């Protein structure tokens, strides 16, 4: 059985080479060829011993993911859809800017968290990606873009694990991929420029802080447990006080001195002045230092199955002003790639809802309207 060498970080590749009777420096050479030069043909790896090249040809290979489609937005954003087998596909999105090139990478085919405002969550969960499938997105994008631009310099300066899936629910595959991104013999990215986004898997946040601390973004989206239970179901397992405490613990090891809170702006749901005031109180009650967090307000990208709507710009601006006036660093994310369904919360193709969320919500509304319900009338459904 042959092995895809994209599945290894440098330490893993060294172990693989040792099994072939080779020393670690051979693994370093091989790692450079694969990740720095984008090579997949062992015959081209001229500084490897011929004996090693022969061994590798018999037991290993380097292969990315088949590309199903590529779309380029009017703003320069590029989205690739990759085939991961069994009818599943994942996407990666490259976002060029004047001072950086950011690649948004997927960690799972589908997602098990089921956030109401995310079209990926409405598709349900298929499987975790392997380390090689995570790295293949960066490997392909970096070296494809270099070829197109004729550049020998790094094209991708930032990686955000914000594509399909919850990265921390695929921890075993995620960490070696992160280590390859950070390795100076690989992509040489700074810990400050690699970001893992999580909906709040508290135990894995603690593990990441010890195993491979990179920048952290937390999908918050609500200022209280009742609302967040509805929007981000994982909150029922790890409520806000546990999540905020975990954020503070992570800060002790993080490469940045703040946590980014992502907040998708939903019209009439979480975008009112009272929600902003609750957020301010939440942040202040968990502040162990001065500026320990910043907010990134995200325009919602609607899809029919959600039943949700984008907040008007006036509400977003007013919300941002309230947070800023309270001394909280706040930005509004610029929507990129919306014309190719590459913006935040979108994914390629028609959304196939396998979660049953609309049926559950309809059932809840029916219960709320039942005259003889013994419970008090619950708050407005979100």
**CB-CB contact of 245 with 292 (8 Å):** no
CB 293 within 8 A of CB 260: yes
Residue that the structure tokens 């509004």 belong to = 332
Closest by CA to 143, choosing from 247, 49, 40, is 40
Q: How far apart are CA 75 and CA 22, in angstroms?
A: 47
Task: Please indicate whether residue 22 is annotated as part of the active site.
Answer: no
Tokens 């230092």 locate to 289
51 burial (CB, 10 Å; 0-12 / 13-18 / 19+) is exposed
Kindly state the tokens that stand for 189: 């990215």
Q: Count the alpha carbons within 13 Å of 155 in the hemisphere toward its beta carbon.
A: 23
CB neighbour list of residue 28: distance below 8 Å, 6 or more residues apart = 10, 14, 185
| Catalytic member of 17, 22, 91, 293 | 91
For the CA atoms of the chain, what is the radius of gyration?
22
> Helices (H), strands (E): how many in the chain?
12, 14
Q: How far is CA 57 from CA 29, 46, 188, 211, 220, in A?
A: 16, 14, 27, 33, 47
- Which of 238, 65, 95 minimizes the C-alpha distance to 155? 95
Q: Are 7 and 131 in contact (CB under 8 A)?
A: yes
Q: Which of 104, 111, 118, 344 is catalytic?
A: 344
- Is residue 344 among the annotated active site residues? yes
Q: Kindly list the catalytic residues.
A: 91, 344
């Amino acid at each position: 059985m042959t092995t895809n060498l994209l599945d290894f970080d440098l330490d893993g590749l060294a172990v693989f080479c040792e099994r072939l009777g080779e020393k670690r420096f051979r693994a370093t050479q091989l790692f450079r060829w694969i990740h720095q030069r984008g090579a997949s043909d062992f015959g081209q790896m001229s500084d490897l011993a011929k004996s090693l090249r022969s061994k590798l040809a018999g037991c290993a290979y380097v292969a990315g993911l088949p590309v199903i489609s590529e779309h380029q937005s009017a703003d320069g954003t590029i989205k690739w859809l990759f085939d991961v087998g069994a009818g599943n596909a994942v996407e990666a999105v490259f976002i060029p800017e004047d001072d950086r090139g950011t690649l948004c990478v997927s960690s799972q085919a589908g997602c098990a968290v089921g956030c109401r405002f995310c079209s990926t969550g409405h598709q349900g969960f298929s499987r975790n990606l392997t380390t090689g499938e995570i790295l293949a997105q960066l490997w392909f994008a970096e070296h494809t873009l270099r070829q197109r631009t004729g550049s020998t310099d790094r094209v991708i300066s930032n990686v955000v694990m914000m594509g399909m899936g919850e990265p921390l629910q695929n921890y075993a595959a995620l960490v070696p991929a992160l280590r390859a991104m950070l390795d100076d013999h690989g992509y040489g990215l700074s810990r400050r420029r690699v970001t893992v986004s999580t909906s709040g898997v508290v135990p894995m946040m603690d593990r990441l802080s010890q195993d491979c601390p990179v920048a952290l973004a937390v999908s918050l989206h609500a200022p209280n447990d009742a609302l967040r239970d509805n929007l981000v179901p994982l909150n029922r397992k790890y409520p806000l006080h546990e999540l905020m405490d975990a954020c503070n613990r992570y800060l002790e090891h993080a490469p940045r001195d703040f946590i980014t809170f992502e907040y998708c702006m939903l019209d009439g749901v979480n975008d009112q002045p009272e929600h902003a005031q609750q957020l301010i109180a939440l942040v202040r009650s968990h502040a162990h230092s001065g500026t320990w967090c910043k907010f990134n307000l995200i325009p919602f990208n609607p899809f029919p199955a959600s039943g949700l709507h984008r907040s008007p710009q006036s509400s977003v601006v007013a919300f941002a002003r309230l947070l800023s006036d309270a001394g909280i660093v706040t930005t509004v994310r610029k929507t990129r790639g919306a014309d190719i369904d590459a913006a935040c919360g979108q994914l390629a193709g028609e959304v196939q809802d396998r979660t049953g969320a609309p049926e559950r919500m309809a059932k809840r509304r029916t219960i709320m309207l039942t005259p003889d319900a013994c419970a008090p009338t619950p708050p407005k459904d979100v």
